[in-house]
Amino acid sequence: MKIKNNQLIRRLGYEFKDPSLLKRALSHRSVGKDNNERLEFLGDSLLNFIIADALCKKFPSSREGDLSRLRATLVQGKTLAELAREFLLGDNLILGEGEMKSGGFRRDSILADAVEAIIGAIYSDSDFIRCQQIVLSWFDSRLDNITLENTDKDPKTRLQEHLQENKKPLPIYTVIETRGEAHAKEFVIECRLESVAQVFVAVSSSKRAAEKLAAEKMLNHLKI
């Protein structure tokens, strides 16, 4: 497998004993069966554990809820896409023709998935300790800079906590439409409260992101 100028390998800080694992990690599902989805699944679990462990050590007295919010900030798609761009990962993605034409190499979700797949590939190529070392080196500055004070709660969390504090039923999120082709799906999701007549709808390329956008609209309506 030819990686452009071997720059990606140097940026990742890891050289694969089995280069086919890296090739698979960079292969979007649009290329066919030999894609990165299984490695992404593995990498997602590894990433969550590695970051959770690092946060527990950095904040030994913090509550579970605070640690969960910090972890969510570090492992969210936006952060992983930023990492991918630092690695210039888009230049090395292997995409199907349709995904290539639609600019998939620039899409946050595809970049973030590839980062998780690479984590899964590194673990498969080595062991947990080596994988942990590499991942922590990627997140070194972000872990250094993150504090309990500078991490905002996402809209879904804020809405849920507001309702719990006021002893009201939790919001209901419903997928009312899924549209677009397999490589570019969009989810239309509504957020509904028993105590509010108006329903708020949002659209995004992932269910989670659409739920957050809908929750934010509800918060604005409630003036929270």
pLDDT digits (tens, 9 = 90+) for 159-188: 988 888 888 999 999 999 998 877 778 899
Enter the DSSP assignment of 106.
G
pTM for this entry: 0.67
Residues sharing a CB contact under 8 Å with residue 121, sequence separation 6 or more, in sequence order: 16, 21, 22, 24, 25, 39, 43
Classify residue 180 by burial, with Cβ atoms within 10 Å: 0-12, 13-18, 19+: exposed
* Positions of the chain with pLDDT lower than 70, given as ranges: 1-5, 149-152
Q: What is the pLDDT of residue 191?
A: 96
Tokens read off for 135 = 């991942």
Q: Under a CB-based contact definition with an 8 Å cutoff, are residues 224 and 162 in contact?
A: yes
Tokens read off for 3 = 């990686």
Residues sharing a CB contact under 8 Å with residue 72, sequence separation 6 or more, in sequence order: 154
Residue 204: CB atoms within 10 A of its CB come to: 18
Classify residue 40 by burial, with Cβ atoms within 10 Å: 0-12, 13-18, 19+: buried
Q: What is the pLDDT of residue 147?
A: 85
Q: What is the pLDDT of residue 223?
A: 84
Residues sharing a CB contact under 8 Å with residue 68, sequence separation 6 or more, in sequence order: none
Q: What is the pLDDT of residue 1?
A: 47
Query: Which sequence positions are flagged as catalytic?
Result: 44, 116
